[in-house]
Amino acid sequence: MIQFVVLFLAVAVIAGLLGFSGVAFVSVEMARMVFFIFLALFALSFIAYLVRGKGKPPLR
């Protein structure tokens, strides 16, 4: 998911340098949206880890 953020950021920077402000705005908004989704999923995973704990080791 981080790869998408980097890709959209690169497209936004290139479009900004070339003067295509509409494309840059859309790319930045997509990168921002993907980043916040990643951040929310990370927070949920971290909270689930804290609640669940390490638990017992698996049987061998």
Q: Cα(23)–Cα(5) distance, rounded to whole angstroms?
A: 15
Q: What is the pTM of this model?
A: 0.57
Q: What tens digit of pLDDT does each residue of 11-51 get? A: 777 777 777 667 777 877 877 888 888 888 888 888 888 88
Mean pLDDT over residues 3-7, rounded?
76
SS (H, E, C) 15-56: HHHHCCHHHHHHHHHHHHHHHHHHHHHHHHHHHHHHHHCCCC
pLDDT band with cut points at 50, 70 and 90 for residue 1? low
H or E stretch at 59: none
Tokens linked to 28: 């930045």
Pick from 16, 8, 55, 60: nearest CA to 33:
8
**What pLDDT was estimated at residue 55?**
60
